[in-house]
Amino acid sequence: MPRFSDEVEGVLRRAGWLPDRRVDLAQWKVSSAEFTWHAAAEKFLQEFGGLRVDNSGPGITCARESFEFDPELAIGEGERFAELSELFGHKFFPLGEVGQGEFFLAIDEEGAIYLLGAWVLRHGPGDLALEHLVTGVAPERLSRPT
């Protein structure tokens, strides 16, 4: 069974992705020192870091939006990531942004991808999240713990 649908694989390849792609994380490890790196963030960014996907139009359950994988887009937001990590019980690490910067993309220690903004929205595990981001599937809004 293929890893991605033909549509998603085509979109990712046009953005510069290849199945054996490996990005050097050294620069990001220095510039993103305000965040706590974890294995899931490293694995995801080694493969998808630096990609920008230009995406628009109607999607399956929400509009398709462009997204970019660059943790430097969240520099200065370390406190917000730490607060949301504590509140929701996940170690969120920034992956980049979606849309016009309305939401940060984040990954937790289990490899699930989220949108962080005024709300926390969960897309699911890495490959499924990429399918959702490309094809316009709305993420699940998480309720704030009480």
- Provide the domain count of the chain: 1
Does 144 map to a domain? no
Residues 130, 12 contacting (CB under 8 angstroms): yes
Q: What does the block give as tokens for 55? A: 């995406």
138: which residues sit within 8 A by CB, 6+ positions away?
A: 61, 62, 132
Residue range(s) defining the domain that contains residue 108: 6-16+25-137
pLDDT digits (tens, 9 = 90+) for 5-58: 999 999 999 999 999 999 999 999 999 999 999 999 999 999 999 999 999 999
Does 143 map to a domain? no
Query: In terms of DSSP bridges, do strands 120-125 and 140-141 run parallel, antiparallel, or are they unpaired?
Result: antiparallel
Q: What span, in angstroms and rounded, lies between the C-alpha atoms of 103 and 120? A: 9
Does 48 map to a domain? yes
Mean pLDDT for the stretch of residues 138-142 = 95
Q: What does the block give as tokens for 22? A: 């490996």
Q: What span, in angstroms and rounded, lies between the C-alpha atoms of 111 and 15? A: 21
Band of pLDDT at residue 102, cut at 50, 70 and 90: confident
Does 66 map to a domain? yes
The whole model's pTM is what? 0.95
Does 1 map to a domain? no
Residue closest to 137 by CA, chosen among 79, 59, 77: 59
On the question of pLDDT at 132 being above 90, the answer is yes
Does 145 map to a domain? no
Band of pLDDT at residue 146, cut at 50, 70 and 90: low
